[in-house]
Amino acid sequence: MCFRRVTDVTRSQQALKQKTGKQNVVGERIRIARQQQIPPWTMERLSEMLEEHEGLEISISTIGRIESGNRSVYDYEVVALARVFKIDLKWLLNC
């Protein structure tokens, strides 16, 4: 089944935070992908690229919170990040 009940998702998020202290699994990979660009992208550059190429507005401070694991990431944001970095979604999700 592709869909989970909201309560199941909430429990999964709570379990992840309890286990790792983080609210997402992609934050570290986002930082790595950003720093491996040539030249390395700043958070500001990533924010600009997301808005320009994906029409997604994510502020610099929000990118910082995502990278540090202090903010959950929506599925459409993960897809946009993979596209803007031109990387495999599985790598970003650490699968």
Rounded Cα distance, 66 and 42, in Å: 14
Q: What is the mean pLDDT of residues 8-17?
A: 58
Q: What is the mean pLDDT of residues 2-16?
A: 52
CATH of span 24-92: 1.10.260.40
pLDDT of residue 12: 61
Rounded Cα distance, 8 and 69, in Å: 20
The kind and range of the H/E element at 60 are helix 60-67
Give the domain ranges of the chain: 24-92
Q: Is the pLDDT of residue 11 over 70?
A: no
Q: Is the pLDDT of residue 36 over 70?
A: yes
User: Of residues 43 and 7, which shows the higher confidence score?
Assistant: 43
Give residues with Cβ within 8 angstroms of 38, minimum separation 6: none
Q: Is the pLDDT of residue 2 over 60?
A: no
Give tens-digit pLDDT for 41-89: 999 999 999 999 999 999 999 999 999 999 999 999 999 999 999 999 9
